[in-house]
Structure 1
Amino acid sequence: MGELVQVEIGDGSDGAPSGVATIRLTRPPMNALNTAMQEELRAAAEQVSSDGSVRAVVLFGGEKVFAAGADVKEFAGQDHAYMLRDAHRLTSALDALARIPKPVIAAVTGFALGGGCELALTADFRVSADNAKWGQPEILLGIIPGAGGTQRLPRLIGPAKAKDLIYTGRFVAADEALELGLVDVVVPKDEVYPTALAMAAKFAKGPAHALAAAKAAVDGGLDGDLASGLRLEAHLFASLFATEDRTIGMTSFIENGPGKAVFTGAGE
């Protein structure tokens, strides 16, 4: 457990689904993403990635706020030479979350701005409170998003819509974020975390290797041309024939019909 980021792994008790880990930000009042928190997020990503008991992950900033951005006071004291050395570390910290080989859901309350929005973009899905505010306001500080916002946001909502948010720095309400495709589900703020947990719980019961392969195929395919993506897909598709879950899934389908398999997440 870190001081600013905690990993909680559900065991099926107290409403915490078995196999679901919560990466919880704990730097009140706004969960500003300073250097220490970025490194604890990296460590949390490595922990849940390597823990075989974790089958799905929820990113959560708490009931009041997800993350209102980077620590501007910390940034203000850094010069060009320092940032030339440090910019990659910042990007790679959040990239570690994007590379978690398991389904990840961001549960967003309050604000997801700047680095907070970039953090949410590392997830596969985003559940937003109906009163949450989203945005990439770095331009208002005379800079641009530096932890994936200029890359993940246009891949998610398209370049023109992303440029609107990045060029203006404007805040986006939850209903518009849903319309843009920035978020996937909008619920009352008290239902954000339970909704994300319920989504994660469904994935936690799925075939772990196939889910990891699907994520790798989609994310990897977006980074290259179609031919490269198809080769990646074919390789990952074939690799799943070495897993126990493939045997379970196909046997169950033949004997009982679709959707009734109970997966183990094991290889053969």
Structure 2
Amino acid sequence: MTPVPAPDPALRTSRSGPVAEIRIGDGHRRNALPGRAWARLAREVGELGEDRSLRALVIRGQGDTFCAGSNMTDWVDADTGYVEESFAHMEAAFTAIEDCPVPVIAEIRGVAAGAGCQLALACDLRLMADGARIGMPIARLGILASPAFAARLVALAGPAAARELLYTGRLLAAHTAVARGLAEDSVPEEQLTARTRDLATAIAGQPPAAIRAAKLAVTAALAPQRQAAAVNPRPAVARPHFDRAITAFLGQRSATAPAPPAG
């Protein structure tokens, strides 16, 4: 008999009336996700979006952080094909969120970095705890920013801010992220869940057809930018720098667990 695989602890989906929630991660490694979890996230969002009774979707992290991106232990000694596949799974998850027919709200505690930042930017709305940070510290790891990655930053914060964040890898503090357009609001951490609930409830209380039409209209307005970013695939990482950086980063994390600089 073939054993039934255990549920993936990296994602948990729940439902409260017309509002669904996806909780990211298992509380370890700042909720960084392996490739298979990104693939599952794309499927989960797609399935939820097919439910006509759904009015809003909230994405939050497990515990005290949102998502630090991809679990880089997944890439140790991995061949280029596997790494490229991981990035394809990530992009599929972000696209599924952008294409979800109902509004998606990101509730951000701790850090939203790298693919975690992209996950937040793919959502329609972002609420941050006042101690949270967001950014794209990927260049130092030899990860090559894709046009789709850059497009999400440009759409919200403009090209100058996108360049700064991609060139420096700086993480923005919540109040700065709001000022730059990367989040709608920052609130004291103890108020964040209630603020998210109130926003989701307000959206769910609107006429469903009007909300779905509003999201479709915004998606259509952004379509030229998204299409321009969908260029032919290109390498996602620069080797051998990527391999050295991953090894050094994981060794450093195990010793001191540093965080990228905030701003």
TM-score relative to the length of structure 2: 0.77
Distance 1:208 1:45, change over 3 A: same
For the 8 Å contact 1:133–1:174, the answer to whether it is kept is yes
Distance 1:193 1:77 in 2: 39
| Cα deviation code 1:155-174 (max 9, x no counterpart) | 11111111100111111111
| Secondary structure of residue in 2 paired with 1:134 | strand
- 1:38 is matched with 38
Report what 2:52 is aligned to. Answer: 52
Which AA in structure 2 matches 1:19? P
Alignment of 1:96-107 (within 5 A): 96-107=96-107
Offset from partner CA, 1:211-239 (integer Å, 9 cap, x none): 112112212222228xxxxxxxxxxxxxx
| Paired residues of 2:39 and 2:92 also in contact (CA < 8 A) | no
Question: Paired residue for 1:5?
Answer: 11
> 1:84 Cα deviation (Å)?
4.5
What corresponds to 1:217 in structure 2? 217
- Per the TM alignment, residue 124 of structure 1 is displaced from its structure 2 partner at its CA by 0.6
Render the CA deviation track for 1:81-139: whole Å, top value 9, x for unaligned: 44455543331122112211101110000010001111101111100000001110011
What is the SS of the residue equivalent to 1:102?
coil
1:148 positional shift: 4.0
Q: Is the 8 A contact 1:61 1:108 kept in 2?
A: yes
Greater shift, 148-157 or 73-82, is seen at: 73-82
| Cα pair distance change 1:147/1:189, threshold 3 Å | farther
Q: Report the CA distance between 1:22 and its aligned residue.
A: 0.8
Q: CA deviation at 1:73?
A: 2.0
Greater mean deviation of Cα atoms: 27-36 or 120-129: 27-36
Task: State the one-letter code of the partner of 1:120.
Answer: A
Corresponding residue of 2:151: 151
Which amino acid letter does the alignment assign opposite residue 25 of structure 1?
I
2-side partners of 1:77 and 1:202: how far apart? 47
**Which residue in the other structure is 2:18 paired with?**
19
Distance in 1 separating the partners of 2:69 and 2:87: 16
1:88 maps to 88
Bigger Cα Rg: 1
Query: Structure 1: how far apart are the matches of 2:25 and 2:80?
Result: 30
Name the SS of the counterpart of 1:172 in structure 2.
strand
Alignment partners' CA distance in 2, 1:147 and 1:25: 25
Quote the Cα distance in structure 1 between the aligned partners of 2:147 and 2:34: 12
How far residue 201 of structure 1 moved from its aligned partner, in angstroms, is: 0.7
Letter of the 1:66 counterpart: F
Residue 6 of structure 1 contacts residue 44 of structure 1 at CA under 8 Å; is this kept in 2?
no
Would you say the 8 A contact 2:31–2:62 is kept in 1? no
User: Number of aligned pairs?
Assistant: 218
Structure 1 position 209, deviation (Å): 1.9
Q: What secondary structure, in the 3-state scheme, does the structure 2 residue paired with 1:206 have?
A: coil
Q: Distance in 1 between matches of 2:185 and 2:31?
A: 22
Equivalent AA in structure 2 for residue 24 of structure 1 = R
5+ residue gaps, structure 1: 11-17, 226-268
Residues 144 and 166 in structure 1, CA contact (< 8 A), matched pair in contact too: no
The alignment's C-alpha RMSD in Å is 1.9
The alignment partner of 2:57 has SS state of strand
Instruction: State the one-letter code of the partner of 2:10.
Output: L
8 Å CA contact 1:66–1:116 kept in 2: the answer is yes
Q: Alpha-carbon deviation of 1:153? A: 1.0
| Native 8 Å contact 1:127 1:186 kept in 2 | yes
* Partner of residue 78, structure 1: 78
SS of residue matched to 1:167? helix
Offset, 1:147: 9.3
Q: Does 1:186 align with 2:186?
A: yes
Q: What SS does the aligned partner of 1:224 have?
A: helix
Please say if residues 60 and 66 of structure 1, whose CA atoms lie closer than 8 Å, have aligned partners that are also in contact.
yes
> What fraction of aligned residue pairs are identical, expressed as a percent?
33
